[in-house]
């Protein structure tokens, strides 16, 4: 998909790869109040993004005028937030979508895509501190388009408070109020919704994080690794496939992060040149962290003939312990929800997929990548994996009450 050109401002240059415009969408032709404008004073810097105007909103030319809006207003009031004084309000789609019988309907993907530029302009102009995404359509509008594939339902997104670096705002997906109104025995959903909102509003007082040094150093000579004598490291491999057994499989690139420093390198051919890394794996004073440690563990044993000494943390398992929803433990998802960078590996991820998805021993296309102009991207991506694995581990340890000083 790749609707936004990476490296360019999300606001100034939308690299759409499909024809999108109000003409293409056409909803404006059939509604009473086309292109409803942002509404509210935004005194507390909150931007609410809903789904689309319904009948009442279309009649009044303002968002949140019907039952869902009244319910939302009442809920916000409980948290000391006035929906129209303290917030700005828009929808993912500006004009009312109707079905053949003239009833409200969900906007289509095309309609959402056509209206996205307007949503981004509102964010650029208003610079909200907190963006509440009410429902799955709003998630589609603001999050999914920045991921090259797979986004999942609101169930997976709700409850995270995401320090989104593109928008420099906390982005908080929650259920849509109409979903709660529709639930007949919805105590659980309601409790979850209130908790999600309450948590989101606490971030109004938290400054947007400074993520510190996130540089990746690409090295040839591994002797700098000899300086790591204790503490923790996160490390990551890029390999020719998932399993190390079949003949010809190898570790291509390695990265090591101490949190302060992150090194990335092609695995040297000669054992003597690998020595500093092998010694690090063998050093019992250095705690080892990985995202899915059984992968790094197995490849270390089979292909480097060096068991990993002193495993301390697996960020994938910890992510599952902290939150057992489906489809959330992947590093890419965790990096976005915790550190606000969407889809950082999209340039190289196609090369890491097995050529034969049914065969666990299959080779991927990493060798094609190495021979291309994107080879350096693989080292950067590998470095980011261990850097964010390290950061994630520290965050998880804190959340789970581990003493990280020892
Ligand atoms: N539902 C929405 O998503 N937005 C509105 O403005 C009203 C109902």
pTM (2 d.p.): 0.94
Sheet holding 231-239, edge to edge: 217-218, 262-266, 251-257, 231-239, 286-290, 311-314
> pLDDT-based confidence at 184, cuts 50/70/90?
confident
**What pLDDT sits at residue 150?**
64
Residues contacting 352, CB < 8 A, separation 6+: 238, 364, 365, 366
What the block records as the tokens of 345 is 């590996």
> pLDDT-based confidence at 406, cuts 50/70/90?
low
CA distance 176 to 192: 12
Model confidence at 308: pLDDT above 80: yes
Q: Say how many C-beta atoms besides its own lie within 10 A of residue 344's C-beta.
A: 19
* Distance (Å) from CA 119 to ligand 1 centroid: 15
Residues contacting 237, CB < 8 A, separation 6+: 251, 252, 253, 254, 295, 296, 299, 382
- CA 102 vs. chain centroid, Å, equals 37
- Tell me: the pLDDT tens digits for 320-336? 999 999 999 999 999 99
Q: Is the CB of 383 under 6 A from ligand 1?
A: no
**What pLDDT sits at residue 183?**
82
**What pLDDT sits at residue 320?**
98
Continuous segment of H or E residues that includes residue 369: helix 366-370
* CA angle (332, 333, 338) in 5-degree steps: 105
Q: Is the CB of 93 under 6 A from ligand 1?
A: no
The per-residue pLDDT of the chain, averaged, comes to 93
- Tell me: the pLDDT tens digits for 224-267? 999 999 999 999 999 999 999 999 999 999 999 999 999 999 99
pLDDT, greater one: 188 or 201 = 201
Q: Is the CB of 51 under 6 A from ligand 1?
A: yes
Q: Give me the half-sphere count of Cα atoms (radius 13 Å) on the Cβ side of residue 120.
A: 19
CA distance 377 to 393: 24
Strands 231-239 and 286-290: parallel
Model confidence at 16: pLDDT above 90: no
> pLDDT-based confidence at 163, cuts 50/70/90?
very high
Ligand 1 pocket test: pick from 66, 88, 106 the residue with the most ligand atoms within 8 Å of its Cβ: 66
Model confidence at 7: pLDDT above 50: no
Ligand 1 pocket test: pick from 31, 36, 37, 52 the residue with the most ligand atoms within 8 Å of its Cβ: 52
What the block records as the tokens of 329 is 């433990």
- Tell me: the pLDDT tens digits for 110-142? 999 999 999 999 999 999 999 999 999 999 999
Phi/psi at 155 (5° precision): -60, -35
* Distance (Å) from CA 50 to ligand 1 centroid: 5
Residues contacting 73, CB < 8 A, separation 6+: 64, 83, 84
**What pLDDT sits at residue 1?**
25
Chain position carrying tokens 């979508």: 97
Residues contacting 224, CB < 8 A, separation 6+: 263, 276
Residues contacting 305, CB < 8 A, separation 6+: none
Q: What is the mean pLDDT of residues 274-295?
A: 98
**What pLDDT sits at residue 4?**
33
Model confidence at 186: pLDDT above 70: no
**What pLDDT sits at residue 35?**
96
**What pLDDT sits at residue 201?**
98
> pLDDT-based confidence at 346, cuts 50/70/90?
confident
The percent of residues in the chain predicted with pLDDT above 90, rounded, is 85
> pLDDT-based confidence at 338, cuts 50/70/90?
very high
Q: Is the CB of 69 under 6 A from ligand 1?
A: yes
Q: How big, in percent rounded to 5, are the helix, strand and coil portions of the chain? A: 40, 15, 45
Q: Is the CB of 39 under 6 A from ligand 1?
A: no
- Tell me: the pLDDT tens digits for 70-121? 999 999 999 999 999 999 999 999 999 999 999 999 999 999 999 999 999 9
Model confidence at 15: pLDDT above 50: no
What the block records as the tokens of 214 is 């996130």
- Tell me: the pLDDT tens digits for 383-398? 999 999 999 999 999 9
Q: Is the CB of 386 under 6 A from ligand 1?
A: no
CB under 8 A, 24+ apart: contacts of 208-215? 208/129, 208/163, 208/168, 208/169, 208/170, 209/163, 211/165, 211/339, 213/260, 214/262, 214/384, 214/387, 215/262
């Amino acid at each position: 998909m790749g609707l936004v050109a990476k490296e360019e401002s999300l606001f100034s240059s939308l690299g759409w790869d499909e024809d999108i415009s109000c003409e293409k969408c056409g909803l404006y032709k059939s509604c009473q109040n086309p292109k409803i404008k942002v509404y509210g004073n935004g005194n507390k810097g909150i931007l609410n993004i809903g789904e689309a105007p319904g009948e009442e909103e279309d009649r009044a030319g303002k968002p949140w005028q019907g039952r869902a809006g009244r319910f939302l207003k009442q809920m916000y009031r409980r948290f000391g937030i006035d929906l129209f004084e303290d917030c700005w309000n828009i929808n993912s789609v500006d004009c009312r979508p109707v079905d053949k019988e003239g009833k409200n309907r969900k906007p289509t993907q095309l309609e959402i895509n056509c209206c996205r530029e307007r949503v981004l302009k509102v964010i650029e102009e208003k610079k909200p501190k907190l963006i509440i995404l009410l429902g799955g359509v709003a998630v589609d509008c603001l999050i999914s388009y920045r991921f090259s594939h797979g986004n999942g339902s609101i169930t997976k997104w709700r409850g995270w408070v995401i320090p989104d670096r593109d928008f420099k705002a906390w982005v908080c997906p929650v259920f849509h109020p109409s979903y709660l109104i529709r639930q007949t025995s919805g105590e659980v959903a309601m409790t979850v919704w209130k908790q999600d909102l309450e948590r989101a509003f606490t971030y109004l007082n938290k400054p947007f994080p400074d993520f510190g040094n996130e540089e990746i150093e690409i090295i040839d000579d591994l002797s700098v690794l000899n300086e790591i004598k204790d503490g923790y490291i996160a490390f990551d491999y890029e390999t020719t496939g998932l399993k190390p057994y079949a003949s010809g499989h190898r570790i291509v690139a390695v990265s090591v992060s101490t949190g302060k420093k992150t090194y990335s390198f092609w695995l040297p051919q000669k054992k003597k040149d690998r020595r500093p890394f092998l010694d690090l794996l063998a050093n019992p004073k250095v705690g080892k962290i990985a995202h899915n440690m059984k992968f790094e563990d197995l490849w270390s044993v089979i292909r480097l003939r060096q068991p990993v000494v002193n495993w301390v943390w697996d960020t994938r398992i910890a992510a599952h312990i902290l939150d057992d929803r489906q489809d959330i433990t992947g590093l890419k998802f965790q990096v976005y929800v915790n550190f606000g960078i969407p889809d950082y590996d999209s340039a190289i991820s196609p090369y890491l997929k097995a050529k034969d998805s049914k065969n666990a021993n299959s080779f991927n296309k990493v060798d094609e990548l190495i021979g291309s102009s994107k080879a350096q991207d693989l080292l950067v991506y590998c470095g980011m994996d261990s850097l964010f694995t390290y950061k994630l581990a520290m965050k998880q340890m804190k959340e789970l009450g581990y003493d990280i000083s020892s």
